[in-house]
Amino acid sequence: MKKLSALNKVVFFINNIFALLLLLSYLASYTQPSTISIAPLLSLAAPVLLFINLIFVLYWIFQGFKKQFAVSLIVLFIGFVVSSSVYKFRSNIEQVTDELNIMTYNVRKFNIFEWINDKNITSKIDAFIQKEEPDILALQEYKEDENFSINYPFSYNPSLKTKVKSGLAIFSKYPIINTGILEQNRWVGKAIFIDVVKSQDTIRVYNFHLQSLGVVPDEEFFGHSDSKKLIQRLKISFKVQQLQVDIIKEHVNSCNYNIIIAGDMNNTAYSWAYKNLKNDFKDSFLEAGSGFGKTYDFKGFPLRIDFIFTDKNINIINHKNYQDQYSDHYPVMSTVSF
């Protein structure tokens, strides 16, 4: 049996630390941010921890040490069993006649501050949506723009009729019979809903945008930002997200219609926010998606932070992740049937 060199003993010690952190990140989704404030930070790091532990597995295999690679392999297997999958193999796409396509897209205020060096972003988003033709379109960080001229017969944009600057809008090809804003205390307009009628079915569609973590990759992680201030800001954001999720869940539980929840979570599938907002709903990516399901590009690292959830009795036929980069988010569309 080969003995570990001094270097490999150090590597194995570091391996054990990262394996433990990954294991704790799984548990973080069961811990309220207001209870243990460090837990959400671990859940946010889960995708990176998964990748690091996979590297350790490959390292020990190439080194020829069987016992050592088992540590990370076991923890990765536990994650496969109890947590959301980081990668999904393609499922067979069913063909149905009576279907509904819903798209969620954070349009980042149509590049108003020129984050992307392109003055035609609004027109490109407009052309993209008209090409894909979703039946229901849920937009986050939305603002009125003369170059955004999609033609939907029905829509709900509370910013037009109230003082609420929600940045949320829903467009529909089907009649909207009811609308509303979820609000409580100072948190206003971060979730809206519509009730639409398709054939004989009434469907409630929620559009949400949870509290932003306010992380700018170049400044926060690759610059000289104060790490203590960053962590404190993240802790506050996670607690606000907890409040938001609780409000949405309470509202959802009072609805008797078929429900679809779509939007920008600003958190990963390993978080408390995901576990509690998804609850007993289906995640369209897990049901019919493929690949990493990237909806946000964090310095080249694929993150899935935009989601579409549906009632269990709704069939998810297809899920598509687009790579058209007209925002810091990528659009997502799911096809469902009833």
- Summarised one tens digit per residue, pLDDT across range 86-115 is 666 666 656 566 799 999 999 999 999 998
Pick the range with the lowest mean pLDDT from 15-24, 162-171, 175-184. 162-171
Q: Is the pLDDT of residue 220 over 60?
A: no
CA distance 93 to 141: 31
The answer to whether residue 216 scores a pLDDT higher than 90 is no
d(Cα 153, Cα 169) in Å, to the nearest integer?
Answer: 14
| Per-residue pLDDT reduced to its tens digit, 68-77 | 889 999 999 8
The rounded percent of the chain whose pLDDT value lies above 70 is 87
What mean pLDDT is predicted for residues 264-284?
95
pLDDT band of residue 222 (cuts 50, 70, 90) is: very low
Is-contact 135 334, C-beta < 8 A? no
Query: What confidence score (pLDDT) does residue 87 get?
Result: 63
Name the most confidently modeled range: 55-69, 154-168, 269-283: 269-283
pLDDT of residue 224: 44
- Tens of pLDDT, residue by residue over 122-147, are 999 999 999 999 999 999 999 989 99
pLDDT at 165: 62
What is the pLDDT averaged over residues 55-83?
87
The answer to whether the beta carbons of residues 187 and 241 sit under 8 Å apart is: no
Per residue in 303-324, pLDDT (tens digit) is 999 999 999 999 999 999 999 9
Q: Is the pLDDT of residue 177 over 70?
A: yes
Specify whether the CB–CB gap between 170 and 137 falls below 8 A: yes
Q: pTM of the full predicted structure?
A: 0.88
The structure tokens listed for 175 are 């009649």
pLDDT of residue 42: 83
